[in-house]
Amino acid sequence: MPEAFDIAFLGGGPAGYQGAIRAAQLGAKVAVVEEKFLGGVCLNWGCIPTKTVRASAEAGRILRRAKEFGFQPVEARPDLAAIIARKDRVVNALRGSIGRLFQAHQITLLEGRGRLAATGGIEVDHDHQQALVHANKVIVATGSRPASLPMFPKHPRIFLADEALNLNFLPKQLLVVGGGSVGVEMAAIFRELGAEVTLVEALERLLPNEDAEMADYLQSVLKRRKVKILCSAQITAVSGGDALVGPASPFKVMLADGTELNPDTIILAVGRKPNTEGLGLAEAGVELSSGRIVVDEHLQTNRPGLYAAGDVVGRCSLAHVAFAEGICAAEHALGRNSAMDYRVVPRCVFTIPEYAAVGVSEAEAQNHQPVKVAQFPFKSLGMGQATGELEGLVKIIAHAQTDRILGAHIVGPHAAEMIAEIALAMRADLPSRVIMETIHSHPTFSEAVLEVTQALHGQAIHQPPVTRAT
């Protein structure tokens, strides 16, 4: 007889492992089936590796600015092998900590590829050995994988996004294809590490789903830092790159306007695909839409007892959303009336400097007429001047009559931390005046948020009145 569980998770990524721990907290007997590594893409190839390498890139940037801070100039040549080794140590440590949490919560981890069993539960294939996990409730959390483009051949110097931080050499001429969050992050990181970077985006601007004015501001910062950016650019052909080892032989990348690019290394950051193939979903009659699993507000599929969470759902492909979805699905599967609320989801792009946003853009806010908009630059902050971080901008969009915050966008150091204050205010349905009337520590970057809310009410202290109504 197969071992029986109250709940089983197919996938141990952000949704799977956090949902499993929450289920164990609720007293359930829990199993997790994982084909590769606990933590999924976020921990092993995405969020954590990217931010760890980014930290090294930022350290190099500070070293190069030593004279600006009163020190003798310092040579700051990156040792890519050491940077990648540090990244691997961080990833391994965090992965091990999840394993220890599983042990502490008595969660059973089964290694292997899983699929839904016809009789219920999950079939597991590990080294050609089959096992059956019987569970009353199952949550599919198999994540996603990076997409590719057909004109790019398989080549050891053409990397999908998940592979890009396993490079064993520093590119001299790097081409990043895709101006979404991953592409912009990669471009910023490798530029700070010393590569010459060209970023190509098919649409008319970077971060096309974000506020146009703020995305343009970030683009101007990246250009000042010598990232070459080509928007509205269509790649028509790729050839060359004959040398298979090292960045020796350049590629020939042709654009629709006749421009020829000659990178020695290419990173493709053109979106992701949900991992829904080969899971037995069709055989189980699970409803899919564009390859993603259709769920209700409780993350329940059309099949009773079967849930899905994370990138396979794809409502908002962010790790912190997957965390919340995994927990929500576990709670509802175990009898609680938990439901997802996507109204307030912060979005963070870990470029150098960062971009963070919550809510709508200014253009989208026109549907909430009338609105008021205000901005405040980091260069007018005491902390900005003290730290030499003058490139940064905060923008808040609020309803002109109710003062409720509709959207906020931040470019600058620590933007991903600063956005939380505004997200909390939006979640609690607080007017911007509450932020304005909250004393903020001085000197801090968070004072920029205070200054914007002051500007929204015509009370800006450190800049002339610039609030605009639309």
Active site residues: 442
Q: For residues 464 and 441, what is the distance between their CA atoms, to the nearest angstrom?
A: 22
Q: Which helix (H) or strand (E) holds 147?
A: none
CA-based end-to-end distance of the chain:
67
| CA-to-CA separations, 331 to 13, 21, 22, 56, 299, in angstroms, rounded | 17, 11, 7, 39, 10
Q: Please report how the helices 47-64 and 181-193 are oriented relative to each other, as an axis angle in degrees rounded to 10.
A: 40
- Residue from 459, 456, 380 nearest 467 by CA: 456
The residue type of 261 is L
Sign, CA torsion 454/416/318/196: positive
The DSSP bridge partners found for residue 147 are: none
Contact 425, 398 (CB under 8 A): no
Rg (CA), the chain: 24
Q: In the structure encoding, which two tokens stand for residue 441, read together?
A: 């520590």
Nearest to 339 by CA among 349, 348, 327: 327
DSSP 224: H
The SS3 assignment for 144 reads strand
Give the three-state DSSP class for 236: strand
User: Could you tell me where the beta strands, DSSP code E, fall in 77-143?
Assistant: 108-111, 113-116, 122-126, 129-140
Tell me if 9 sits within 8 A of 20, measured CB to CB.
Answer: yes
Spacing of C-alpha 376 from chain mean position: 25
